[in-house]
Amino acid sequence: MTDSSAAPGKFITFEGIDGAGKSTHIAYVVALLEKHGKTVVSTREPGGTALGEKLRALLLHEKMHLETEALLMFASRREHLAQVIEPGLARGDWVVSDRFTDASFAYQGGGRGLERAKLEALEQWVHPRRQPDLTLLFDVPPGVARARLDATRTLDKFEQEQADFFSACRAEYLRRAAQFPERMVVIDSTVSIEETRARLAEILQKLL
Ligand code: TYD
């Protein structure tokens, strides 16, 4: 256990294509941080606020123009930053978010083909000075991810996409990981849950 009272909080984001296994590992990371005495705010995108959750329902279930989708993702993000992320970090809490802007580059950019310059403009508008301190990118081939999506649950709009969509999302995620090595760590998510946990503990140790 370490005393965290004087240390500022960190912003950690989780990324990966649907079925990559990130949800399984978020709870583990939150518990690990709390064990080290951190106050953790666990949140998600799209969503994380009352308004954001309404936008999420639209984004995950309604067909819409590609640019409308990107704009609503960033509208949800703007609210999330204002209501949850920035206040949490200002208090010294650790903010753990299931997805953030890398997902917009991967899904709306890589997957749907929106020009990168438009996403960069939105990023500059919505959070010109804020980036995650650490982004954990859970990486698996789309075939493995698909097999992991629970066959019994109703798949949302994104989860219904085909393998080539997820290959393009994954390629963009990996491109960004190569572009931002100071904050992004690629985690091979084809291995066992125990092996991944050991890797996560090792990575987080450096931040604690
Ligand atoms: P996800 O985080 O995978 O939640 P769940 O496990 O409950 O399905 O679902 C969010 C979906 O939203 C996911 O398919 C990716 C998509 N998404 C984008 O397309 N762009 C974004 O900017 C964000 C944050 C998410």
Q: Label residue 149 by pLDDT band (50, 70, 90).
A: confident
Q: What is the mean pLDDT of the chain?
A: 94
Regarding pTM above 0.85, the answer is yes
Q: How far is CA 116 from CA 70, 81, 110, 132, 134, in A?
A: 11, 22, 9, 19, 22
Ligand 1 centre to CA of 45 (Å) is: 7
pLDDT of residue 147: 87
Tell me: pLDDT of 148 over 90: no
Atom of ligand 1 nearest to the CA of 101: 22
Q: Label residue 80 by pLDDT band (50, 70, 90).
A: very high
Please tell me which residue, 154 or 80, carries the higher pLDDT value: 80
Atom of ligand 1 nearest to the CA of 44: 2
SS (H, E, C) 41-103: EEEECCCCCHHHHHHHHHHHHCCCCHHHHHHHHHHHHHHHHHHHHHHHHHHCCEEEEECCHHH
Tell me: pLDDT of 105 over 80: yes
Lowest mean per-residue pLDDT among 22-26, 109-113, 134-138, 153-157: 153-157
Tell me: pLDDT of 160 over 60: yes
Match 């990118």 to its residue by tokens. 137
pLDDT of residue 4: 45
The Cα–Cα gap between 10 and 119 comes to: 24
Ligand 1 centre to CA of 98 (Å) is: 8
Atom of ligand 1 nearest to the CA of 74: 22
- Ligand 1 mutation target, pool 155, 158, 166, most atoms within 8 A of CB: 158
The Cα–Cα gap between 3 and 191 comes to: 33
The Cα–Cα gap between 170 and 157 comes to: 17
Residue nearest to atom 3 of ligand 1 (CA): 18
Q: Label residue 152 by pLDDT band (50, 70, 90).
A: low
Q: Are strands 40-44 and 184-188 parallel, antiparallel or unpaired?
A: unpaired
**DSSP string for 128-186:** TT---SEEEEEE--HHHHHHHS-TTSPP-TTTTS-HHHHHHHHHHHHHHHHH-TTTEEE
- What pLDDT, in 10s, does the model give residues 19-47? 998 988 999 999 999 999 999 999 999 99
Check if the beta carbon of residue 8 is closer than 8 Å to that of residue 133: no
The Cα–Cα gap between 171 and 165 comes to: 10
Question: In terms of Cα–Cα distance, which of 9, 188, 154 is closest to 88?
Answer: 9
Q: Kindly state the DSSP code that residue 111 receives in the 8-state scheme.
A: I
Ligand 1 centre to CA of 47 (Å) is: 10
| Mean pLDDT, range 85-101, rounded to an integer | 98
Tell me: pLDDT of 2 over 60: no
φ and ψ of 175, to 5 deg = -65, -45
Q: Label residue 17 by pLDDT band (50, 70, 90).
A: very high
pLDDT of residue 3: 47
Tell me: pLDDT of 161 over 90: yes
| Mean pLDDT, range 41-62, rounded to an integer | 98
Cβ of 172: how many Cβ atoms within 10 Å? 22
- Percent share of the chain, pLDDT over 90: 88
